[in-house]
């Protein structure tokens, strides 16, 4: 595995750990961590190249899909609870926006869970894989990045940046007050 692929794999792992541990993070800490990780993942993904594999057709590439729908929904729900009312944002790059008279809403938690699914599956594919399987997975994750999740990453980064810059989350918001929930 070349240095770019190693860097991408390490960042993918760091991202997956941060998302999986979101319930134990404060909201501001989680957002700051995502704002630190997402640009680095974007840069690393754009530089992905397999070591020596020359696939004749990119359709030969694949990643094992191991994340269950239940696990996906659990991750999405945890982030949604953490972000509360800040989870929803208006999406201007949505294809449906062209044909809509009303704004199209998107969910930060769903976007982050979508990225988590790709990276989780990638990590599980390459964990104990041969060099050839790793190269195939790198091509697959690079292709899915270009086709789908690069835009998702940029969109959610913009939404998280808005929350951070506008000060919508403060240190006081770190842990929700559950005192009235007896």
d(CA 179, CA 12): 36
What pLDDT does residue 49 have?
A: 83
What pLDDT does residue 94 have?
A: 57
What pLDDT does residue 96 have?
A: 54
What pLDDT does residue 177 have?
A: 41
Q: What number of CA atoms fall less than 13 Å from residue 166's CA on the CB side?
A: 8
Q: Taking a C-beta distance cutoff of 8 angstroms, is the pair 134, 34 a contact?
A: no
SS3 38: helix
Q: Which two tokens stand for residue 170?
A: 């403060």
What pLDDT does residue 168 have?
A: 74
Mean pLDDT in order along the chain per 10 residues (182 residues): 90 98 95 98 92 56 89 98 94 62 84 98 93 90 94 96 85 45 36
> Among 22, 58, 54, 52, which residue's Cα sits nearest to residue 37?
22
107 has which bridge partners?
88
């Amino acid at each position: 595995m070349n240095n770019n692929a190693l860097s991408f794999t390490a960042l993918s792992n760091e991202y997956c750990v941060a998302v999986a541990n979101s319930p134990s993070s404060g909201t501001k800490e989680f957002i700051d961590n995502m704002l630190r990780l997402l640009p680095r993942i974007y840069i690393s993904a754009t530089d992905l190249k397999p070591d020596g594999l020359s696939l004749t057709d990119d359709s030969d590439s694949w990643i094992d899909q191991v994340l269950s729908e239940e696990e996906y929904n659990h991750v999405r729900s945890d982030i949604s609870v953490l972000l509360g009312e800040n989870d929803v944002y208006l999406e201007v790059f949505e294809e449906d926006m062209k044909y809509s008279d009303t704004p199209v809403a998107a969910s930060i938690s769903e976007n982050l869970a979508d990225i988590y699914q790709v990276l989780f599956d990638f990590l599980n594919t390459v964990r104990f894989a041969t060099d050839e399987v790793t190269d195939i997975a790198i091509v697959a994750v690079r292709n899915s990045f270009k086709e789908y999740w690069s835009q998702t990453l940029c969109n959610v980064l913009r939404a998280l940046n808005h929350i951070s810059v506008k000060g919508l989350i403060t240190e006081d918001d770190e842990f929700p007050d559950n005192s009235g929930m007896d």
